[in-house]
Amino acid sequence: MPKKLIALLLALLGIVWLAAQTEKTAQPTLETLQQQLLAMSDSLLQAREGEIFREYGFRETDRLQDVAAKLKIANIPQWKKYLEIEPENPVLDNMSLAQLGISPYRALLAQQYSIYGFTELSTLGELAKQKQLPMKKLRQFAGIHSEDKSRDSYSLQALGKKPDEFVAFEQDFNAGKIGFGFSVTFIGILIVFAALAITALIIGQLRRLNREPKPEDRTLVLTPSGKVKSQPKDMNADVIAAAITALHIYRQSIEERRRLLLTFKRSRADHWRSSGFVNMPNRDILRKRS
């Protein structure tokens, strides 16, 4: 089997596993509900059940179907599932909460689970992980400073927030997420281009700051009389004397060569005239024969 096909299969298995893990974390379990209930003291439970009676108007003596109607449960089988009773058993609908061993507060938490996927006992840390929301935004929603981590384990109830308020906050955040993402991207692009422009400007100015020094004029200028007219700044008198001496010797060598050329120059000589033969010799030979 090719290596690319094996890598593709492994990637697909990883995606499936991550999806399964996400689904597990997204759906609350019955154990989580029970742990939240056990974490509350009896006094808090009694106080909360009194608030539930004033807000929804049911007690432990009410039948299950009446409680579902007062809580406006849309998915009753799922609500029963969170209450750990048979979802499809209609006989249980006519039994009271006390007969089923269900407290009013537990019925309310199950209702919140069936609607929102979390309860008022869910902490900020759990909600941030479950809903994939930034923790700083959740702290601002709860009225906490964005850098204060001391109350991340506080529940919505302890912070004075209701599940429907959190849902409204989540909807507003998701609605502005796209615009926020575009604004962050645009600002990032502006920062990058501004940094590039500043870098290019600085690099262009470095050429002026680090200019190469102009080459000094190293020419030694003398007057016709042999005096120094201009000289380099770092040239001392010994160098000047050596240069003048070399120039003087060079001129003397040129004059000596000219004299030698004039001495050995000869005038052009006519060998015919120097030998005394003015006329051509053929004429004399021709005359004698005639």
- Split into its structural domains, the chain has a count of 3
Q: Is residue 216 over pLDDT 70?
A: no
What mean pLDDT do residues 225-238 have?
66
Last residue of a domain, one of 95, 116, 137: 116
What pLDDT is attached to residue 255? 82
Instruction: Name the pLDDT band for 1 (thresholds 50, 70, 90).
Output: very low
User: Could you please report the per-residue DSSP string of 200-247?
Assistant: HHHHHHHHHHTPPPPPP----EE-TTS-EEE--TT--HHHHHHHHHHH
253 in a structural domain: yes
43 in a structural domain: yes
Sign, Cα dihedral of 133, 137, 140, 144: positive
Judge if 202 and 247 occupy the same domain: no
Residue 145 CB partners (closer than 8 Å, separation 6+): 139
What pLDDT is attached to residue 192? 92
Last residue of a domain, one of 116, 140, 166: 116
Judge if 98 and 52 occupy the same domain: yes
For 236, how many CA atoms within 13 A lie in the half-sphere containing its CB? Answer: 1
Distance of alpha carbon 180 from alpha carbon 186, whole angstroms: 10
What pLDDT is attached to residue 48? 79
Judge if 234 and 196 occupy the same domain: no
For 170, the token pair is: 């989540």
80 in a structural domain: yes
52 in a structural domain: yes
What average pLDDT does the structure give for the chain?
76
268 in a structural domain: no
Sign, Cα dihedral of 268, 270, 276, 278: negative
151 in a structural domain: no
DSSP 8-state symbol, 190: H
Distance of alpha carbon 111 from alpha carbon 56, whole angstroms: 12
142 in a structural domain: no
Judge if 33 and 103 occupy the same domain: yes
Judge if 192 and 258 occupy the same domain: no
Judge if 197 and 243 occupy the same domain: no
Distance of alpha carbon 12 from alpha carbon 18, whole angstroms: 10
Judge if 112 and 47 occupy the same domain: yes
Query: 3-class DSSP state for residue 96?
Result: strand
In tens, the pLDDT along 137-194 reads 889 898 888 888 888 888 888 888 889 999 999 888 888 877 777 888 889 999 999 9
Judge if 34 and 108 occupy the same domain: yes
Distance of alpha carbon 281 from alpha carbon 127, whole angstroms: 140
137 in a structural domain: no
User: Which among 19-28, 74-83, 199-208, 218-227 has the top mean pLDDT?
Assistant: 74-83
Judge if 103 and 76 occupy the same domain: yes
What pLDDT is attached to residue 278? 52
What is the rounded (10 degree) CA torsion for 69, 74, 80, 86? 100
DSSP 8-state symbol, 92: G
Range of the domain at 199: 177-210
